[in-house]
Amino acid sequence: MASVSSTPSTGQATGQVTRPATSGEPLRGYAKGRLRREEILDTARALFGEVGYRSASLREIAARCGISHPGLLHHFPTKEALLEAVLQRRDAVSEERFGVIRARGTEALRALVEIVAANVAEPGEVELYCVLSAESTAPDHPAHQYFTDRYVTTRANLERSLREAAEDGDLRAGVDPSVHAPIVVAVMDGLQVQWLLDRDSPAPTDMPAALRAHLNTLLTHPL
């Protein structure tokens, strides 16, 4: 009860008083603010993934957090600032999960399959990425530059992994890394749409299995 250890997404129901006159530790207020920020980011990510950035309303996000929409604007001054924070946190999380690995060649490809497998347990992440990447296709979208840049670096990372695989003799003859890097990215993105559409069906798209099958067509021996 005294320590704040609940996850951001469930931090709403804690029965803490609003202003305990002459509180014990001065960090309390900031800690509570950070918690609220995280809760808002979780909620915003979910709604952006459900209906896209443009159709998501600050009022709906705020209501899901149990605050007013001017209350939300106290933490994030504009809707675009909220979007930026959501995308920045997304990058931080994926770097934490992927950047640490930093494997070489086929090992990196194997890690990629693992990441896709983990995404199945995080449909919110997949929705956000899928819906926002398509929406940001419009040149005037606030996330247009973000996704443009992101695809450049994602393709470059994959191209490097494929080149390393070639050096190690793991790549089939005639497979050009610069040609097939964007294709592997396309496979991952395209599978997400199909999976989001049929994930509740009796036979949903098996994203990690399909990605592995695709990568195996490029390699001399299966992953």
- Exactly one of 63, 120, 185, 223 binds a copy of itself (CB under 8 A); that residue is 185
Our measurement of the distance from residue 165's CA atom to the centroid of its chain's CA atoms, rounded to an integer in Å, reads 27
Quote the CA–CA distance of 84 and 144 in Å, as a whole number: 11
Could you tell me which stretch among 58-66, 94-102, 162-170, 211-219 binds a copy of itself (CB under 8 A)?
A: 211-219
Q: How far is CA 167 from the centre of its chain?
A: 31
C-alpha distances out from residue 85 to 41, 77, 130, 193, Å? 7, 11, 18, 24
Figure out which of the listed residues 4, 81, 101, 138 binds a copy of itself, where binding follows CB under 8 A. Answer: 138
**In the complex with DNA, which residue's Cβ is closer, 48 or 195?**
48
Instruction: Report the residue number, 77 or 139, with the smaller CB distance to DNA.
Output: 77
Neighbouring residues of 214: CB distance < 8 A, sequence distance ≥ 6: 184, 187
In the three-class reduction of DSSP (H, G, I as helix; E, B as strand; rest coil), residue 57 is classed as coil
Contact residue for a copy of itself among 52, 71, 124, 208 (CB under 8 A): 52
Which residues are at the interface with a copy of itself (CB under 8 A)? 50-52, 54-55, 127, 130-131, 133-139, 144, 147-148, 151, 172, 175-176, 179-180, 182-183, 185-191, 193-194, 196-198, 200, 205, 209-210, 213-214, 217-218
